[in-house]
Each structure stands twice: as C-alpha cells, then as structure tokens.
Amino acid sequence: MTSVIDILLGGLFHAAVLFLVAAGLQLVFGVQKIVNLACGSFYALGAYFGISCVNWALALGLPPSLFLPVLIGSGILMATVAPPIEALLRTVYRRDESFQLLLTFSLVLMTQDVLRIVWGPTPQHLGTLSMTYGKVAVGSVTIPTYNLLVILASIAIAALLGFFLQRTRFGRILRATAENRDMSAALGVNVKWVYASVFTLGTMLGTVGGALVVPTSAASLDMAVELVVEAFAVVVIGGLGSMRGALAGAVIVGLMRAAAVTVYPELEMLAIYLIVIAVLIARPAGLFGKAAI
C-alpha cells in the first residue's frame, strides 16, 4: 500500500510539470499548427532562470519561505523571450510543416548553447530549499509539502486555462482562430496579435513548468531534449491539440513512469514509448483528439 501511494504521489508530481509543458505545446499546435520541438528548451530556460532568480532574491534577504512566488514570477518573466521567437517563426507559417519542425529544431540547438554560455556546463540546483515547507503525511507515506503545492498549482493553472479558453472573449477569439485563421482575419481578428500572444502563453507554461521543477531536481543541459520526447508522448497519447488530452496524457505518462521506476527500472521510458506506439496505432487521434488523418 505504501509503495502504491508513493508511486501515485511521485507520478502526480511529474505529471503536474509535464502537463504545463504539454499544455504549452498543445496551445501552440492548436492555434498556430506548429509542433514546437523547442518547448523543452523553454522548460530548461525557465529552470535555469528560476534558480538564478531565487539565488538573487535570497542574497537580497528574502525569507526562504517565499521562494515559490519568486519561482513562478521568474517563469512568467522568462516568457519575454517568446515574442522575438514568434517573429522568427512567422516566416514559416505558410510553409510545409517539415520546415516549421526544422526551425524549432534549430532553436533547440541554439538554446542549448545559450544555456551553456550563461550558466556553464555544470548542472545547477537549489539544494534543500524545497524542504523549507516541511513534509506532510499522506496515509503511511510522507512527502515534501512543496511537491504537493506544485501539484495543486498545476491543477489551478489547468482550471484557469480551461476557464480562459472556454469562457472569456479572448478564449473565444483564440478558438475561432484555431478553427479557421483566414475567416477570423476576415471578421476583424488581429491574427498576428493572437499568434504572438498564444505563443507567449505557450512559452510561459513551459518556463513556469521548468521553474517549478528545479527545487526538486537539478537543471542540466540535457533536460531540454529529454523533456521534449516526454511532452511528445503526452500529446500523442492525449491527442494533438487537445487540452483535456494534455491533462490525461500527463497523468498517464507521469504515473506510468513512476510505476516503472519502482517496479522495473529498465522499463522506465521504454514503457512510455510502447504506450505511445500503441495509441498511435489503435487511435491515432489520441484519447481526446478529433483530428482526422
């Protein structure tokens, strides 16, 4: 029983972070029809920048218990890299998708070195800072309160995102643009602006996700390319372009990984790719996708 709760909580924590990145990927794909390989790079940027911000804040005398708001703030701030990148992507919106994919791949290569230039090749971490919030007991296991907070934060963001997309005026404009770009433009929607804000929002989800993960694990140069494949797995399982899909996919991948690590470590990622392949073969649109192929 203990191990089951362990797996559940560990998996949900991982799923919470994965959901944020995958939601960013989905948003950008849904509206701009671009599969953004660089979503993992934004995640890494958020992680590194989050560490720096927290260290600055602590050096300036901030009480350690306030590090969580600093992390979220740094993630939001990091999203300012998005508009210039969106301007770059704008050149290929009307091109074949292989070019779009390659352009985001070039971003992956470039960001990896930007991280190396700014933060150096050695992994960075925040030490035991996440323990400032103490631990809580869930049944017979204790977990850091921080992990629980991240899970709750992710749920809150998911709810907010859902409200924003379904109930607000901008959400409706956004969905209309996703449905039919030219028709929205004809009806007076400023598509350029919608694209720029969607891309910024998508990036922000990634950078906040990265910032939230660093108190529990180190930020390394490889984290970007490693996360991309997991985020891909999430969106494929959930269905490309679907927010509910991102949520379901993240929970499945997070739990699967946690279970595999405990039960049979060799299977860790292998299990996830097997699910991805199974889903793509049995139901290529994913669990919640509607895209007909």
Partner 1 sequence: MRSHLLVLLLLAVLALLPQVAGQYHLTLMIPFFAYGIALLGFNLLFGYTGLLSFGHALFVGIGAYAAAAITSKLGLRSFELILVASAVGAFLVAIPVGLLSVRYTKIFFGMLTLAFGMLFHSFLFKFYDITGGDGGMRVLRPSLLGMDLSTLDKTAFLTGPFYYYCLVLLGFAGLAMWRMVNSPFGLHLKAIRENPRKAEYLGVRVRLYRLFAFLISAMYCAMGGAILAVSTGLADPELAYWTHSGNLVFMVVLGGFANFLGPIVGAFSFIFLQDQLMSLTQYWRFFLGATLALIVILFPRGLMGLLQDLGGRFRAAEAPAPQRISHELGTERVNP
Instruction: Return the axis-axis angle of helices 145-167 and 191-213, rounded to nearest 10°.
Output: 170
Instruction: Give the separation between CA 110 and CA 14, rounded to whole angstroms.
Output: 26
CB of 218 or CB of 261, closer to partner 1: 261
Q: Could you give the string, one character per residue 66-105, with x where binding to partner 1 holds by CB under 8 A and - elsewhere?
A: ----------------------x--xx-xxxxxx-xxx-x
CA dihedral 178, 184, 188, 190 (to 10 degrees): 30
CB of 205 or CB of 234, closer to partner 1: 234
CB 155, min distance to partner 1, A: 27
CB of 254 or CB of 286, closer to partner 1: 286
Q: Could you give the string, one character per residue 182-221, with x where binding to partner 1 holds by CB under 8 A and - elsewhere?
A: ----------------------------------------
Answer for which of 108, 178, 211, 259 binds partner 1 (CB under 8 A) is 108
Instruction: Give the separation between CA 165 and CA 259, rounded to whole angstroms.
Output: 33
Tell me the C-alpha to C-alpha distance, in Å, between residue 288 and each of 55, 154, 237, 238.
41, 20, 9, 6
CB of 198 or CB of 221, closer to partner 1: 221
Q: Could you give the string, one character per residue 12-51, with x where binding to partner 1 holds by CB under 8 A and - elsewhere?
A: -----------------------x-x--------------
CB 3, min distance to partner 1, A: 21
CB of 133 or CB of 199, closer to partner 1: 199
Handedness of CA 184, 77, 35, 244 (dihedral sign): negative
The one-letter amino acid code at 142 reads: T
Backbone φ and ψ for 137, nearest 5 degrees, come out as -95, 125
Instruction: Give the separation between CA 281 and CA 246, rounded to whole angstroms.
Output: 19
CB 291, min distance to partner 1, A: 9
261 makes contact with partner 1 (CB under 8 A): no
CB of 144 or CB of 239, closer to partner 1: 239
Alpha helices of the chain — where are they, by DSSP H? 2-32, 39-59, 67-78, 82-89, 97-119, 145-167, 169-179, 181-186, 191-213, 223-238, 243-263, 268-282
Q: How many CB atoms lie within 10 A of CB 113?
A: 10
List residues near partner 1 by CB under 8 A. Answer: 35, 37, 88, 91-92, 94-99, 101-103, 105-110, 112-114, 116-117, 225, 228-229, 232-233, 236, 240, 265-270, 273-274, 276-277, 280-281, 284, 293
